[in-house]
Amino acid sequence: MCGIIACRTHAPAVDYLLVALRRLEYRGYDSVGVAVKTTGGQVVRIRTVERIDALDRAIRGGTGYELDRVGIGHTRWATHGPATEANAHPHTDCTGRISLVHNGIIENAHELRQALSISGHHFATGVDSEVLCHLIEDCLTISGDLLCAVQAALASIEGSWAIAVLEERTGRVVVAANGSPLLVARTEHGDFAASDIAAIAEWTDDFTVLGDGDVIELSVSSAGQSAGKNGRKPVVRQCIWRNGEDGLNGHADFMAKEIDEQPTAVSRVLDELGPNIANGRLWHSLGLAPFNRLQVIGCGTSLNAGQVICNLLRRVGGVPASFSVASESAGEIVEPGALCLAISQSGETSDVLNAIVSRRAVDPAMLALTNNPHSTLARRADAVVNCLAGPEIGVAATKTFVCQVVAGVAVMVSALAANGCLGRSAANRLVDDLRRIPAQLSSAGTVAKCLVPPIAEELADAPGFIFIARGTGIPYAAEGALKLKELSYRWAEHYPAGELKHGPLALISSGTPVVVVDNADSKLANNIAEVQARGGRIISVGSLGSTVPVTGELSAPWGPIETIVPLQILARNLALFLGFDVDKPRNLAKSVTVE
């Protein structure tokens, strides 16, 4: 949550800051701001609760100064204090000598604020990050050196941070990280620090990830050198996505583009993993011991993908598999021989990272399934599977979901084959079925684009939606309901269809929309009849005869994956009809780095 950028460049810094902030906006868009050094030696701070275009206009419209080549920027997802201009980053100290941007949470902010106030500091906001400014202010008075001051100030902080601090007098920039992602890069355009390589991918492929406790000065002579507590040399990594993969390419929005990219993305996963699934090599390449049960942890969409992977493992291999919401999984009992599968597209979700820490006490084998092989999750796991979805900009997960499902299924099939629980020909048949998924997703998209928009329009006034399914269809109903609520701001809940009569049926009245994920389970017909008897409006997605039919292996052990495409299109069309931004739903962010 929150994106930060800092740069010391050969051309005006704002030209880089604005590009980077646009690419970081997916991390939060409650407000955005920059602090930039002027050629006259001051630092100008410009912030807005509007989007980046407004910031751009405010910067270009500024008069009386010329902006120089060093600056910091921030795009905010509000934690402490509402989304106001005053609460927008960068923040400053009492003297205005330093400006600071922060991503993370200062857990002892309240105590520090009290102590600093008693010693005479004046706070301009209720934001936790501001305490850092005042702490650094005090330390700077003592040492006179920004790097030492930041190191000393951070010693009093409990919590997580990625920060960039700009000193007005010297123009020095110091960055630091602990529990929040931050990387630095030296490029021919200058030196950068950013929350995510996507922010600076236009200028470099190579970057260095800061470790916990690192404090670094961003300067020509020292970028990339750790001055933090870890005392190790950070590793230079390479960005795997090339420039140009993150444009709209003629689509109306990123969600539309990413829905359309699903067949290609799944093909990429299968091209990469396919040859090594049935022969067990994929599993062996991970270097993990055989397991006798699976525990999946994740949040939101990633957890829904995890549910699909659990279904597959139980059905095909008879292996016990359970899944739990990462934020509630701390006290869970880890049984001997368990494999923990942590799923996170960003690899930076705090709830997932904390769940891993709690499991490390009993030390199960830890496999990460992520779209970011450079992420904190990837670095902390024993083995990593890249879900290869490519950059996903829309906050609502689409292509990362199908890629997580297919990559996770591939690994589990390979594990079963490697451990003798699945014969070679059965494994080959499953791989053949997996290879048909891209075409099935593509055809589901073509059909849904014709049939779904009028349905979405017709349902625009419905205050709430119920999604039902049975067996392997349930994770897709969960994902469809999640998409609908996050994009259209309408209530949407999913239930196993058999549960309707145990309570939720009371919600059905004339016209209540009930979306059925139809995987051809024969018992669904009765549940549909129960809804219709009470006037509910059935929208079924799946087998032949459905409102939106899809072609595919609906009874595959990974369930009716093709049905997710019409459900994504339903959520998008409803949101567009209601006038909402489908790429940046309210209150959400793509990378959730707070608990």
Residues near ligand M6R (CB under 6 A):
299-302, 344-346, 349, 352, 395-397, 482, 486, 592
Local structure of residue 552 (DSSP, 8 states): S
Clarify whether 449 is annotated catalytic: no
- Tell how far CA 460 is from the center of its chain: 28
Whether 2 sits among the annotated catalytic residues: the reply is yes
Q: Least distance to ligand M6R from the beta carbon of 345, Å? A: 4
CA proximity to 95, closest of 56, 42, 53: 42
Q: How far is the CB of 391 from ligand M6R (least distance, A)?
A: 13
Query: Residues 37, 257, 483, 590: which is the catalytic one?
Result: 590
| DSSP conformational letter for 276 | G
Nearest approach, Cβ of 272 to ligand M6R (angstroms)?
A: 20
Instruction: Name the nearest CA neighbour of 19 among 30, 31, 1, 32.
Output: 32
Output the smallest distance, CB 396 to ligand M6R, in A.
4
Q: Is 17 helix (H, G, I), strand (E, B) or coil?
A: helix
Q: How far apart are CA 179 and CA 154, in angstroms?
A: 13
Which contiguous run of DSSP H or E holds residue 53?
helix 52-61
The H or E element that residue 159 is part of is strand 159-167
Of 6 and 393, nearer to ligand M6R (C-beta) is: 393
Whichever of 321 and 403 has its CB closer to ligand M6R, that residue is 403
Amino acid at site 509 = S
- Closer by beta carbon to ligand M6R, 150 or else 352: 352
Strand partners, 539: 515
| Cβ proximity to ligand M6R, 209 vs 397, nearer residue | 397
Bridge partner residues of 3 (DSSP): 75
Q: Identify any residues that bridge with 163 across adjacent strands, giving them in sequence order.
A: 102, 176
**Cα dist from 139 to 92, 218, 510, whole Å:** 14, 19, 66
- Judged by beta carbon, residue 52 or residue 353, the one nearer ligand M6R is 353
Sheet holding 190-194, edge to edge: 43-48, 31-38, 67-76, 3-9, 190-194, 183-187, 206-209, 236-238
| Range 84-103 burial, b when 16+ CB lie within 10 A, else e | eeebbbbbbbeeebbbbbbb
Pick 343 or 422: Cβ nearer ligand M6R = 343
Could you tell me the end-to-end alpha-carbon distance of the chain, in angstroms, rounded to an integer? 10
In whole angstroms, how close is the CB of 488 to ligand M6R at the nearest point?
13
The one catalytic residue among 2, 7, 310, 340: 2
Is 124 or 357 the residue whose CB approaches ligand M6R more closely?
357
User: At residue 233, what is the residue type?
Assistant: K
The single-letter DSSP state of residue 313 is: I
Q: Which residue is nearest to ligand M6R (CB)?
A: 300
Which DSSP string do the residues of 267-290 spell out, in sequence order? HHHHHHHGGGTTTSHHHHHTTPPP
Phi, psi of 217 (to 5 degrees): -90, 135
* Phi–psi pair at 563, nearest 5 degrees: -70, -15
Task: Classify 455 in phi/psi space as left (phi over 0), alpha (psi -120 to 50) or beta.
Answer: alpha
Q: CB of 346: closest distance to ligand M6R in angstroms?
A: 3
Least CB distance from residue 282 to ligand M6R, whole Å?
22
Cis, bond preceding 320 (omega within 30 deg of 0): no
Here the tokens at position 15 are 């030209």
Looking at the Cβ atoms of 234 and 306, the one nearer to ligand M6R is 306
**CA-to-CA distance for 113 and 291, rounded, in angstroms?**
49
Catalytic residue numbers read: 2, 590
